[in-house]
Amino acid sequence: MAKVPVQFTLNGSEKAEFIDSGTTLLNALRDKIGDTSPKGGCHQGTCGACSVIIDGELRLSCLMLAETCNGATITTTSGLAVGGVLHPLQRAFLDTFATQCGFCTPGMIMAAKVLLDHTPNPSREDVVEALSGNICRCTGYEPIIRAVLAAARANPQNAA
């Protein structure tokens, strides 16, 4: 099958690859580019483990074809830590024990990041709504909700 070129910005750096036409963004990220932070859970759009941020919007990389992302700016959880310092959301997830097996965590953090980017000071209901497309089978969700609220409080802009 003919290869097609894809080119996009991933976590601030330019990426260009030749891939099989019809390859999902999830498979291109994991197998071609080597970013394994998005996880393949259900491949059905149900679990949210493959969530990434494309041009500021939360998307499911398992249901997107990589070649439709040409020119896009893509953020994954592996791009959040800067210089070895964890992003406030990552720090909060660790501090509140919001990660157990860890499989849903990158998707949860992407969904939470989009929320905090648009709503720096969310209510509990905002957090529940923002995470409603992401499934966690370990935590019962409460520690995750607490982590997102804690990350929002840690934002200096929200200091009263």
- Window 70-109: contact mask with another protein (x via CB under 8 A): ----------------------------------------
Angle between helical axes of 88-95 and 105-118 (0-180°, round to 10): 130
Q: Which two tokens stand for residue 66?
A: 């990589």
Angle between helical axes of 88-95 and 142-154 (0-180°, round to 10): 130
The residue within the footprint of another protein, chosen from 6, 10, 33, 58 (CB under 8 A), is: 58
Rounded distance between C-alpha atoms, residue 49 and residue 142, angstroms:
18
The residue within the footprint of another protein, chosen from 119, 123, 132, 155 (CB under 8 A), is: 132
**Binding-site ranges for another protein (CB under 8 A):** 1-2, 4, 20-24, 43-45, 48, 51, 57-60, 62-65, 67-68, 111, 114, 128-130, 132-134
